[in-house]
Structure 1
Amino acid sequence: MALIKCSKCGSEISGEASFCPKCGCPVAGSAAASNNNKQKKMIIIITAIVILAAALIGFIVYRSANKTDKSGYYNGLKWGTSYEEVKKQIDDDVISIEKDGKITVDLQNYEGKEGVNCILSYEFENDSLDQVALFITNLDSSSYTDNSLIEEYTKKFDELYGDHSQDLSTYIWKTEYSSIELTFLMDNLFIIEYKDINKAD
């Protein structure tokens, strides 16, 4: 075992010692090891920060890409969209009536539900979209009950827009831009209305 001299007090100490037993001064070799350990710790800390930052950025990008539309617009059509702009977004094959500031669309097996049909009405005031109404019919050939359809839509809208309020047979959701009402009219028929929140009664 080699002996070395302490740089501070001059005492002879073991070459394997980290500190001088007399004065407590770090031994030159152990100071380098200490610096090396500090560098390793710094690299680990920086790596951890980079990984956390990358994870945070990834999460933000994921949330932005998968952000659900909570505006309450029907199919993203903003209130005030012109008649012609709405018409461009609808397949001509499904338009059944086009007059008096309305576009009416007949949709069979609405949203892929066999035996559930929808008459969809886009309503305009002064060439400006201000209401969308969906008259949903539940045919006898459907595997759905009226209650199961209403529960499905209520759950879907609750998840998108928050808990609903209820007025008799009408479920109501309010968003920043829209008022959405689901009303049971009679057996096999209910309506979902999207209205401009500024014009809703």
Structure 2
Amino acid sequence: MTQHQGLPVDPRELDLFEFARSGCQAAGAVRASQLPRMLNEIPAEAPDRDTTFTWQAEGATQPELQDNGAEEPQPYLRLALHGAAWLECQRCLAPYLQTFAADATYRIVNTEAEAEAFPLDESEIDVIVGSRQFDLCDLIEEELLLALPLVPKHEICPAVHESLVSGMGAAQGDMPDEAQDAIESKPERPNPFAVLEALKRKKH
């Protein structure tokens, strides 16, 4: 259980509409072992497969113009995540510690049909279907999976795995200088999910 405004909250059965309507705030922690899809990304030989991610959630409402011309308050959720997990470097095949930091804002709707029809002109706002028993841990896992690097790897590998080196399994130090330079200077591929930038907290 976690706490919000002094009251116990189960993040797996959260009344998301009331959470937003009341402008509640909550914080807690979730372990990688509680997130099966995320756990699948962590190599078996990692020094610690059960790292912890901390999260903060805040509900809010914002007035929006309706089809009838009236303004009505609509529910929103802001979720911030921090933590680290061991991933497998795709260059040397050894585990390395990847940090995670995400900050996302969601417009809460009632049905999948509403979500599909929602205009996508606000790229920094995602749409989620709310419920009276919303699984916040599932949303946390989704954000962590989106934050995974496209190509997980060390900034500087301690060595290149022999299966990735042409020849008879030479270590990186035995490679020709031009081969080492090519590996070390290989540019980072952009993360397509980098648009999930931190949003400034809205004051109510």
Does the TM-score normalized on the shorter chain lie above 0.5?
Answer: no
Question: How high is the TM-score relative to the length of structure 1?
Answer: 0.21
The structure richer in helix per residue is 1
Q: TM-score, normalised by structure 2?
A: 0.20
Larger of the two Rg values belongs to structure? 1
Bigger relative contact order, structure 1 or 2 (CA pairs below 8 A, ≥6 apart): 2
